[in-house]
């Protein structure tokens, strides 16, 4: 599974002022996977995390050998998702070899349900009604944080006849396949909107055979750590309601929530079509903002989300907001204002402290980190860097010398 290389996440997260520096700087470190992950995540029935893990000064870049190809992951939370997905794919592949799966395929062909019959007789209308993947219709956002997400032209009105594949996909959606697939994802403990193409392929194949064949699908939980089953929320950060509501239902729920916060209708619409925000990412952002009811500036965060240039940048923002939400809900802080510094979110507490969440793996004292720590547009309020992972000794000392307090917390799972 390929991801665009992140030479430095801070290049996109932080706009750094030009300053003269005299200190000696560090480079990214080469770590062992065991330094970052618990033993039960390093190896499993379907995967093995490669031992050497390079970092870019902020994030660790993992490679995971699986029975289904090499998966790449940036950051510890994504490793957890990929490990769970590898096990889920194994379960799905095993299920597709079963006699019950074969029976489901046979019955789906011999006795198609009414919704499928309707699509065969009215293919064009059915394809038009089917939900479309937003990434196919919208281009990347611009380089600056601004209102507006650029659209690309749709290809659905070009006059051609729909292909067999398009009709098949429309059938699945119109027939209620979406709810059946959500149930499959829930049983496996995976994100139903994951960008793992192999996982999506296997979920589609297995779910369709059982659903269209009128058979119950019981795969069993695939998410486990040290032999103890975990919920998807605990392991990979998928809110439970993500499985209970269809994609359109969840979008409507989030739209209404953002409107109740007083956000502009145009900004909400742009948020819903942002190409790098999956359905799950959008919902997690909304849930985090809901957890901060006393904080002004939530509209600034949506504008920041609308400007994400990649899935990795979106994941960084999702995790940063989750950190703030967890601290608010746990009583560690009471946020009154949300700010954006370049592309990095921050929050002002009731006591006047500026808190900056940093969902990172291993921070070294690079020139970029030093420039951020010493930037002069953060005001004079006390500053707290709340971070996951670890700071190198030089980074910890550098932040201290620049007037920061630092606090390490666990990776967010909310």
Q: Is residue 340 part of a domain?
A: no
Domain check: are 125 and 156 in the same one? yes
Q: What is the pLDDT along the chain (414 residues), one digit of tens a residue?
A: 544 444 344 444 443 444 444 458 998 889 999 999 999 899 998 899 999 999 988 999 999 999 999 999 999 999 999 999 999 999 999 998 887 777 777 776 654 444 333 333 333 332 233 233 222 222 223 334 556 555 433 343 344 434 444 434 544 554 588 999 999 999 999 999 999 999 999 999 999 888 888 888 888 654 444 333 456 566 667 899 999 999 999 999 999 999 999 999 999 999 999 999 999 999 999 999 999 999 999 999 999 999 998 898 899 999 999 999 999 999 999 999 999 987 889 999 999 999 999 999 999 999 888 888 998 888 889 999 999 999 999 999 999 999 999 999 999 876
Q: Is residue 282 part of a domain?
A: no
CA 111 to CA 339: how far, in whole Å? 57
Widest distance between CA atoms in the chain: 75
Please compute Rg for the chain using Cα positions: 23
Domain check: are 224 and 188 in the same one? yes
What does 210-222 look like in DSSP terms, one character per residue? HHHTT--------
Q: Is residue 86 part of a domain?
A: no
**pLDDT score for 169:** 55
Q: Is residue 232 part of a domain?
A: yes
**pLDDT score for 213:** 82
Domain check: are 112 and 220 in the same one? yes
Domain check: are 126 and 205 in the same one? yes
CA 293 to CA 283: how far, in whole Å? 16
**pLDDT score for 98:** 84
Looking at residue 275, the DSSP 8-state letter turns out to be T
Which of 47, 79, 111 terminates a domain? The answer is 79
Domain check: are 119 and 230 in the same one? yes
What does the pLDDT look like over 14-61, one tens digit per residue? Answer: 434 444 444 589 988 899 999 999 998 999 988 999 999 999 889 999
**pLDDT score for 318:** 95
**pLDDT score for 170:** 46
Joined together, the tokens standing for residue 131 give 């939900």
**pLDDT score for 377:** 81
**pLDDT score for 110:** 56
What does the pLDDT look like over 307-366, one tens digit per residue? Answer: 998 898 899 999 999 999 999 999 999 999 999 987 889 999 999 999 999 999 999 999
Domain check: are 103 and 234 in the same one? yes
Domain check: are 132 and 223 in the same one? yes
Q: Is residue 385 part of a domain?
A: no
Domain check: are 73 and 132 in the same one? no
Q: Is residue 332 part of a domain?
A: no
Work out how many domains the chain is built from and give that number: 2
Domain check: are 126 and 210 in the same one? yes
**pLDDT score for 322:** 96
Q: Residue 152: name the closest of 139, 170, 168, 133 by CA.
A: 139
Domain check: are 137 and 220 in the same one? yes
Q: What are the C-alpha distances in Å from 151 to residues 137, 154, 235, 379? A: 7, 9, 34, 37
**pLDDT score for 148:** 57
Which of 79, 101, 123 terminates a domain? The answer is 79
Domain check: are 207 and 98 in the same one? yes
Joined together, the tokens standing for residue 142 give 């611009």
Q: Which residue has the tokens 């659905």?
A: 156
Q: Is residue 256 part of a domain?
A: no
Domain check: are 101 and 177 in the same one? yes
Question: What's the count of helices (H) and strands (E) in the chain, helices before strands?
Answer: 18, 15
- φ/ψ region of 20 (left if φ > 0, alpha if ψ in -120 to 50, else beta) reads beta
Which of 221, 241, 261 terminates a domain? The answer is 241
Question: CB count, 10 Å around CB of 162?
Answer: 18
Q: Is residue 174 part of a domain?
A: yes
Joined together, the tokens standing for residue 119 give 């699509």
Mean pLDDT of the chain: 79
**pLDDT score for 298:** 96
**pLDDT score for 157:** 39
The residue ranges of DSSP E strands in 146-284, in sequence order, are 224-225, 228-229
CA 213 to CA 102: how far, in whole Å? 10
Domain that holds residue 52: 10-79
């Amino acid at each position: 599974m390929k991801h665009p290389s992140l030479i430095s996440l801070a290049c996109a997260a932080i706009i750094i002022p030009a300053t003269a520096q005299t200190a000696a700087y560090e480079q990214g470190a080469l770590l062992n996977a065991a330094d970052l992950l618990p033993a039960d995540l390093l190896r499993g029935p379907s995967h093995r995390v490669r031992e050497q893990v390079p970092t870019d000064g902020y994030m660790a870049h993992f490679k995971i050998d699986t029975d289904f190809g090499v998966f790449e992951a940036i950051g510890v939370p994504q490793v957890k998702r990929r490990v769970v997905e590898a096990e889920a794919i194994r379960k799905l592949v095993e299920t597709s070899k079963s006699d019950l799966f074969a029976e489901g395929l046979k019955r789906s062909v011999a006795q198609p349900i009414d919704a499928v019959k309707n699509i065969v007789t009215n293919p064009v209308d059915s394809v038009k009604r089917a939900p479309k993947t937003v990434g196919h219709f919208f281009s990347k956002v611009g380089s600056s944080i601004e209102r507006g997400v650029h659209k690309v032209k749709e290809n659905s009105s070009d006059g051609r006849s729909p292909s067999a594949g398009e009709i098949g996909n429309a059938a699945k959606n119109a027939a209620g396949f979406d709810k059946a697939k959500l149930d499959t994802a829930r049983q496996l403990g995976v994100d139903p909107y994951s960008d793992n193409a192999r996982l999506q392929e296997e979920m589609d194949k297995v779910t369709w055979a059982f659903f269209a064949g009128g058979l119950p699908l019981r795969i069993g939980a695939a998410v486990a750590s040290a032999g103890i089953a975990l919920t998807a929320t605990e392991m990979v950060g998928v809110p439970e309601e993500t499985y209970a509501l269809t994609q359109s239902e969840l979008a409507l729920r989030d739209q209404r929530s953002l409107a109740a916060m007083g956000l502009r209708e145009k900004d909400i619409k742009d948020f819903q079509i942002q190409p790098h925000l999956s359905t799950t990412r959008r919902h997690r952002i909304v849930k985090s903002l809901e957890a901060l009811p006393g904080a002004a500036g939530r509209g600034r965060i949506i504008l920041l989300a609308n400007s994400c240039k990649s899935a990795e940048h979106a994941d960084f923002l999702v995790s940063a907001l989750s950190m703030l939400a967890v601290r608010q809900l746990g009583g560690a802080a009471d946020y009154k204002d949300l700010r954006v510094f370049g592309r990095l979110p921050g929050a002002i507490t009731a006591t006047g402290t500026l808190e900056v969440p940093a969902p990172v793996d291993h921070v070294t004292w690079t020139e970029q980190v030093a420039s951020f720590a010493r930037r002069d547009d953060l005001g004079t309020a006390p500053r707290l860097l709340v971070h996951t992972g670890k700071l190198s000794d030089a980074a910890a000392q550098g932040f201290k010398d620049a007037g920061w307090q630092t606090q390490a917390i666990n990776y967010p799972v909310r």
